[in-house]
Chains A and B, each alone.
Chain A
Amino acid sequence: MTSERDAHAGEGLTFFGAVSASISHELKNHLAIISQQAGMLEDAGMMAEKGMELSPEKLMQLGDRLQAQVRRADQVLKNMNAFAHLVDEPSRKVDLVQSLELMVALCVRFASQKTVELELSRLEQAEVATDPFLLEFLLFDAIRFALDNPGPSRRIGIGVHAREREALITLSGLEANAPAPPERLNELARALSGRVRYGDNELRLALDRA
């Protein structure tokens, strides 16, 4: 492990646990839906046994709905797999747009609990060489700060801007009177050779591209 990861080991585990718990809740919801839809198939079978006519169209629709749930659950597992593999390497080239897409997908449930919408927009391709796990931890903390301090629209716009020497991640639509971001956000940014700036209802994470 790198010294930066060591420095944030305890908090990193808490982050890992929070995201894992959220994923498990999402999967439980999908399983609950699949369970009821499978029950509907059983009900159709029982009604057919009693002589009631089966509607092929209804059965096909039910099959489609089941497949749709399986696809949703599969996507949650894909995200979980990508999240789990963040710790494979202490440093590698990371596509910031992909990193953001993953963390936004993992934070959708947290956002929903707060009735805030996360919106990815203005995404420019940018790569940085960094610790993938600490980067996602930084993004998670930044998104959680934004979710705790949404502006009146309750919509947080998230973007990636590629500059020559740095990549800028912006979270806009924050409350005007929000408190300063927590110190941990600054610490994580520094560990990743980055900086946190806050003002004009926007949080900006700048990461060196050199």
Chain B
Amino acid sequence: MAENVLLVDDEQEFLDSLSERMKTRGINVDTSTSATEALEMAENASYDAIILDLKMPGVDGLEALKSFKEKNPEVQVILLTGHATVEKGIEAMKHGAMDFLEKPSDLPTLLEKIKKAQAKKMILVEKQAEDKISQIVQAKGW
């Protein structure tokens, strides 16, 4: 099943190049240069993975990550940073990031993370469905 990905970075050229390469590999890709716009897009579409630049104009990347997770707990966010440190990585994971990569990141690594993101999201969605069914069954006393 084709993955649905949202790329968020303030560099348009980066978005154009990466999205084109992903699309030729059968991935459905949306892009945004604004974290605020991306949050709206994530509310209206179902993404398997959001690839988010940690440093974007006007918005702290970790705050944006928190907002994405609040609106869609099952969405998987992969953070991209120019300087990855252990401390930043731990902070990112605490805020709910699925992974944390340093730029420039090669495409095979990103694709592998996106596949994992899709699998992880499917497990979470299935679990939610099971929990709902279980609640209904209990409520009806079946």
- The residues of B that contact A37 with a CB separation of less than 8 Å are 13, 17
| Total A-B pairs, Cβ < 8 A | 59
The answer, yes or no, to whether A40 is at the interface (CB within 8 Å) is yes
Q: How far is the CA of A43 from the CA of B58 in the complex (A)?
A: 34
> Do A40 and B104 touch (CB < 8 A)?
no
Count B interface residues, CB 8 Å.
Answer: 20
- The residues of A that contact B112 with a CB separation of less than 8 Å are none
- The residues of B that contact A40 with a CB separation of less than 8 Å are 17, 20-21
The answer, yes or no, to whether A87 is at the interface (CB within 8 Å) is no
The answer, yes or no, to whether B83 is at the interface (CB within 8 Å) is yes
Partner of A39, one of B11, B21, B55: B21
**A146 smallest CB distance to B (angstroms):** 17
- The residues of B that contact A34 with a CB separation of less than 8 Å are 104
> Which one of B24, B57, B58, B104 has the greatest number of beta carbons of chain A within 10 Å?
B104
> Which one of A32, A34, A39, A114 has the greatest number of beta carbons of chain B within 10 Å?
A32
Tell me the B86-120 residues at the A interface (CB within 8 Å): 103-107
Q: How far is the CA of A32 from the CA of B103 in the complex (A)?
A: 6
What are the interface flags for A108-141 relative to B under an 8 Å C-beta threshold, 1 for contact and 0 otherwise?
Answer: 0000111100000000000000000000000000
The answer, yes or no, to whether A98 is at the interface (CB within 8 Å) is no
The answer, yes or no, to whether B10 is at the interface (CB within 8 Å) is yes
Q: Which residues of B contact A (CB under 8 A)?
A: 10-11, 13-14, 17-18, 20-21, 24, 55, 57-58, 80, 82-83, 103-107
Interchain Cβ contacts under 8 Å between A and B, 10 examples: A25-B83, A28-B82, A32-B80, A32-B104, A33-B14, A33-B17, A39-B17, A113-B55, A114-B58, A115-B58
